[in-house]
């Protein structure tokens, strides 16, 4: 019960802090991928600023290791990341409970060439996105950010590779 109350308190504190964007001081959250690389994420009124991804289109996808549409989209995301590696960053957050080590093995077996984060490890971030995007938990779930970090597209459910390519092309043409 203590853990639950502490988690609720931390989530409330984090969300409240990120919502207080009217002040000059912006709040941030650290995300660590399965390889130990850390990214600073700052919530903005229109989206997210993610360190190291400035000026890039970002596809932020929430997926599950047991979700058939999620698994079917992995080859498409691999192809897109290869094709647009200098202008696109794909970040996938696994939300069906794989540990960091299990996720490392999964990523290796699938040949995933993009940033993967354990949702189990980054629950606060998952909760923050769920609250901001009014996400109900269906997967795959995609947020597409333009080069300014502004959310331009939200989709629950799988998109075909052609649609992802078209979305990337539209967002990469937006003025920064």
Higher-scoring residue by pLDDT: 141, 25: 141
Which pLDDT band holds residue 120 (cuts at 50, 70, 90)?
confident
Please write the tens of the pLDDT for every residue from 60-108: 999 999 999 999 999 999 999 999 999 999 999 999 999 999 999 999 9
- Give the whole-number percent of the chain exceeding pLDDT 90: 72
For residue 175, give the H/E element and its range: none
Please write the tens of the pLDDT for every residue from 15-42: 444 444 444 345 789 999 999 999 999 9
Q: What is the pLDDT of residue 175?
A: 62
Cβ-contact 144, 151 below 8 angstroms: yes
Q: In total, how many domains does the chain have?
A: 1
**Domain range for residue 83?**
2-172
Cβ-contact 23, 54 below 8 angstroms: no
CATH of the domain at 104: 3.40.30.10
Full-model pTM: 0.83
Q: Where are the beta strands (DSSP E) in the chain?
A: 28-32, 38-43, 48-50, 57-63, 88-94, 115-118, 141-145, 151-156
């Amino acid at each position: 019960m203590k853990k639950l109350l502490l988690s609720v308190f931390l989530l409330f504190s984090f969300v409240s802090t990120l919502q207080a964007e009217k002040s000059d001081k912006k709040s941030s959250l650290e995300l660590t991928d399965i390889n130990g690389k850390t990214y600073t994420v700052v919530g903005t009124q229109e989206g997210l600023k993610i360190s190291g991804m400035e000026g890039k289109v970002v596809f932020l996808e929430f997926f599950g290791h047991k979700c058939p549409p999620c698994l079917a989209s992995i080859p498409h995301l691999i192809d897109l990341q290869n094709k647009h590696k200098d202008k696109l960053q794909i970040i996938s957050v696994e939300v069906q409970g794989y540990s960091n080590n299990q996720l490392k093995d999964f990523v290796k077996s699938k040949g995933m060439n993009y940033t993967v984060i354990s949702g189990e490890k980054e629950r606060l971030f998952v909760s923050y996105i769920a609250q901001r995007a009014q996400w109900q938990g269906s997967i795959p779930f995609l947020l597409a950010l333009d080069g300014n970090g502004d959310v331009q597209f939200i989709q629950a459910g799988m998109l075909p590779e052609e649609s992802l390519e078209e979305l990337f092309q539209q967002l990469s043409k937006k003025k920064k």
